Structure 1
Amino acid sequence: MNDIPKFFLAFFLVLPIISFVHEAGHVFFAWLMGGRNIKVTIGTGSVLFRIGILEVRKYYFYYGLCTFDNLKRNKRFSNILIFAGGTIFNALAAMLVIHLVEINALETGILTYQFTYFSLYYIFFALLPMPYPDGSYSDGKVILDLIRNKALVSTYRVEWNEEKKQWCVLDHDRNLVQSFEDEEAALKKGHEVAQLHRPSRLLNSKSGEETEVHNFPKIPL
């Protein structure tokens, strides 16, 4: 019974901080690889408030994710670093707390113990290669797939059809999704379908050569 207050302290204070540190790791490496539209979500449920790239939701003590688009360096190793970034930051933070305790800059107490313990807990379950019920994957599962070169990327295209005189949005198998008379409308539709099927790329053949206009990497948790 005496440990119940400690449990609530860990659940409502320490875990959200560790979750924030974890997402900060993803953000750092996504930024390093040229990611755009970076956003961090802490918790789930309805939005409580937003500050810059940070979004805090009602159940702030549960779950977290990082979203970003258009990596400039969208290579396999770059994505491995991004998905490993959360555990790297958790490990560094835990090592820093341990070091500060050892040099007596911090006093050993329930907060330092819980922070170190739950950082290791977070690292273990983030790296455990497993699928989740909602269809998403753990960071470890994505990293393992990337190492095995199994991370399939859907490619969507916006192409001019000379016969139809229309801009066509094509899926990964080059099946028609929708056609438009206006190129901008076709690109907008291409962005929509590509974003819904992460990881994905959107190519445009306006100049006669296929060029990437956007990419939507898988979301690290």
Structure 2
Amino acid sequence: MFGVNDIPKFFLAFFLVLPLISFLHEAGHVFFAWLMGGKNIRVTVGTGSLLFRIGMLEVRKYYFWYGVCTFDNLKRKHRLANILIFSGGTLFNAISAVLVIYLIENNLLEPGMLTYQFTYFSMYYIFFALLPMPYPDGSYSDGKIILDLIRDKKTLEAKTYRVQWNEEKRQWCVLDHNRELIQAFEDKQEAYRKAHEVAQGNRPSRLLNSKNGEEVEVRNYPKVPL
């Protein structure tokens, strides 16, 4: 039964243990994203306004809630690569929990409230990350995406956006995946800035430079693991 004496333990778990578990989860995604050639890797722990940024890590105001890993331009974009990236978070959580249990059972680590909370909430994190379900914002859990990848569904089928020179209008046109005009610019850099914004906001996506009948990939934005 939850009593008054358990309140400090709850806050300890919520403000210290859960953020650590979240960080380890994102580290798993980062490791496999790096292994598959991902560029511009960034880990966000928490939500809300930015508190500080160190290298690829940024910590936000509500650091104890939410986490996400973003990266661009995967070199290896095959199905197995994506399965490894999306399962990396739960894999790191499982390894760290098993390691803590091993250290305790071999008397290398003293059991206590922190170790109990760490293993308990690691299992909690793993369960909800792997539970194949959609979220209210339209994104999917890691488990849902992994399941769709195993079933070879088109969950990670990328939309293609283009920056294309229009000779008749003498403008750079940003086109969506249906080749419909999003916006036209006289300045090439402005067109690319808009195209990157649209492609990044509609992951997974590819951004192509289209001119004189030739198409070259500028950047790809893989789907973000949570």
Aligned counterparts of 1:181 and 1:83: Cα–Cα separation in 2: 40
| Displacement after TM superposition at 1:15 (Å) | 0.7
| Displacement after TM superposition at 1:207 (Å) | 6.3
Q: Are 1:204 and 2:209 an aligned pair? A: yes
Which position in structure 2 is the counterpart of 1:174? 179
Gaps (5+ residues) in structure 1? Answer: none
| Displacement after TM superposition at 1:149 (Å) | 2.3
Aligned counterparts of 1:133 and 1:74: Cα–Cα separation in 2: 27
Which position in structure 2 is the counterpart of 1:3? 6
| Displacement after TM superposition at 1:172 (Å) | 0.6
The structure 1 residue matched to 2:20, chosen from 12, 17, 20, is 17
> Residues 114-153 of structure 1 correspond to what in structure 2 (within 5 A)?
114-147=117-150, 148-151=152-155, 152-153=157-158
> Residues 1-221 of structure 1 correspond to what in structure 2 (within 5 A)?
1=3, 2-147=5-150, 148-151=152-155, 152-206=157-211, 208-221=213-226
Aligned counterparts of 1:42 and 1:113: Cα–Cα separation in 2: 23
| Displacement after TM superposition at 1:33 (Å) | 1.3
| Displacement after TM superposition at 1:201 (Å) | 0.5
Q: How many residues align?
A: 221
| Displacement after TM superposition at 1:86 (Å) | 0.3
SS of residue paired to 2:219? strand
SS of residue paired to 1:3? helix
Aligned counterparts of 2:214 and 2:186: Cα–Cα separation in 1: 20
Gaps (5+ residues) in structure 2? Answer: none
SS of residue paired to 1:12? helix
Aligned counterparts of 1:8 and 1:96: Cα–Cα separation in 2: 24
Aligned counterparts of 1:21 and 1:62: Cα–Cα separation in 2: 14
The residue identity in structure 1 corresponding to 2:201 is L
Aligned counterparts of 2:7 and 2:191: Cα–Cα separation in 1: 57
SS of residue paired to 1:115? helix
User: Percent sequence identity over matched residues?
Assistant: 76
